[in-house]
Amino acid sequence: MTETASRPTLEAVAARAGVSRATVSRVVNGGDGVREPLVERVRRAVEELGYVPNQAARSLVTKRHDAIAVVIAEPETRVFADPFFALQLRGISKELTAHDNQLVLLLTEGRDDHARVARYLAGGHVDGALVFSLHLDDPLPGLIQGAGVPTVFGGRPGWSDGTRDVVYVDSDNRGGAREAVRLLAGLGRTRIAHITGPLDQTSAADRLDGYREVMGVDDPRLVVESDFTPGGAERAMRELLDRCPDLDAVFAANDLAASGALRVLRERGRRVPEDVAVVGFDDLLPVAEQSDPPLTTVRQDIEEMGRIMARLLLRRLDRRVAEEATGGVVLPTTLVRRASA
């Protein structure tokens, strides 16, 4: 049992089964057009030798890899702290697995990693890429497009002026925000504040737009830019309360931010929802249901988004030259009513 006991090759299997390499190859790849007795013999030889095809050799000729890269342009800490990515990945993973594709996760922390990721993608390790969490001035999408790898984006890319040829999947961020704010307004709240996400991401910008559409007049004191994290939202909430002590509602750009806001409101002695009503965005169960009080929020089906992204990409890879289904898929959101508003 030497360490260097190199794996058996097609050749070895062929020899053992007493057939040609071509026949073994056929059997291994489904076995169409090979007569039953031979199939059986080859199968046994494969079994006995513990043969596993060498993917490098296969890819070299087929130019397929049956692997898809998922590129997340956020530091690990954030990726893992935010259940959003977990759900998205779950959806992707399920869809890819169902189609016998391997998921390869590439995390890029900072610009230094960009070149490395671009090289990896261009190096032909994967058939396509699913790319997330882009910021407005991010050079990554350019690099990726340059790598010539079919790509589907998660979230509407900021630089997509309709001119570029991009495929993306997104939630109806603007519509969801409108619903949230309308609910608060319908509750009779008049000083509705908004804690935004990082505005260089379209999801945050779109939610702000939705908020503004319903608010009509825009009181700048009621809007604070934040970063989708609980800590950032705490700071934002404090600032809002200082600026505008009589505010009676808060629409937070995501659930994590809402939970931060809740903490500050409690600390400052405001009752939720009596004094201040709060609405979040995402409906991340562990956050929304566990928070005190449970969070009223805008639900987006995150897992489904992941699944759709994967599906779109796989379809694109299939129909080779066929219709390049371009553009965006926008999924609806729904309001989930709990105790906070």
Partner DNA sequence: GTGAAAGCGCTAACAA
Partner DNA sequence: TTGTTAGCGCTTTCAC
Judged by the rule CB under 8 A, the positions of this chain that interact with a copy of itself are: 3-5, 7, 50, 52-57, 59-60, 65, 67, 76-77, 79-81, 83, 85-86, 89-90, 93, 97, 100, 102-107, 109, 113, 116, 119-120, 122-125, 146-148, 286, 321, 324
Helices 10-17 and 36-49 cross at an angle (nearest 10°) of 120
89 binds, among DNA, a copy of itself, none (CB under 5 to 8 A by kind): a copy of itself
User: 3-class SS at 51?
Assistant: coil
Q: How far is the CB of 216 from a copy of itself (least distance, A)?
A: 38
The site partner of 125 among DNA, a copy of itself, none (C-beta below 5 to 8 Å per kind) is: a copy of itself
Min. distance of Cβ 41 from DNA in angstroms?
9
Residues written for the chain: 341
Tell me which of DNA, a copy of itself, none is bound by residue 146, counting a contact when its beta carbon lies within the kind-specific cut-off of 5 to 8 angstroms.
Answer: a copy of itself
Find the shortest distance in angstroms from Cβ 251 to a copy of itself: 24
**Which two three-digit tokens encode residue 15?**
């020899």
The strand order across the sheet containing 128-132 reads 102-107, 67-72, 128-132, 151-154, 167-171, 327-331
Judged by CB, which is closer to a copy of itself: 90, or 182? 90
Smaller CB separation from DNA, 59 or 145:
59
Contacts of 31 (CB under 8 A, 6+ apart): 39
Min dist. Cβ of residue 164 to a copy of itself (A): 13
**Sheet of strand 277-282: strand arrangement:** 223-224, 192-195, 249-252, 277-282, 296-299, 334-336
Whichever of 63 and 322 has its CB closer to DNA, that residue is 63
Measured from the CB of residue 120, what is the shortest distance to DNA in angstroms?
14
Tell which positions 53-112 bind DNA, by CB under 7 A.
53-54, 57-58, 60-62
Positions in 24-63 near DNA (CB under 7 A): 25-26, 28-29, 33-35, 37-38, 51, 53-54, 57-58, 60-62
- Spatial separation of the C-alpha atoms in residues 294 and 287, rounded to whole Å: 8
Residue 279 DSSP SS3: strand
Q: Is 104 helix (H, G, I), strand (E, B) or coil?
A: strand
Of 136 and 325, CB closest to a copy of itself: 325
Phi first, then psi: give them for residue 276, nearest 5 degrees: -135, 125
Between 39 and 107, name the residue whose CB sits nearer to a copy of itself: 107
**Cα 11 → chain centroid:** 42
Which is nearer to DNA, 64 or 111 (by Cβ)? 64
Residue 153's binding partner out of a copy of itself, DNA, none, with CB under 5 to 8 Å set by partner kind: none
Q: Are strands 296-299 and 334-336 parallel, antiparallel or unpaired?
A: antiparallel
Residue with smaller CB distance to a copy of itself, 191 or 238 = 238
| Sequence-separated (6 or more) residues with CB below 8 Å from residue 24 | 10, 13, 14, 17, 42, 45, 46
C-beta of residue 153 within 8 angstroms of C-beta of residue 131: yes
Contact set with DNA (CB under 7 A): 6, 9-11, 18-23, 25-26, 28-29, 33-35, 37-38, 51, 53-54, 57-58, 60-62
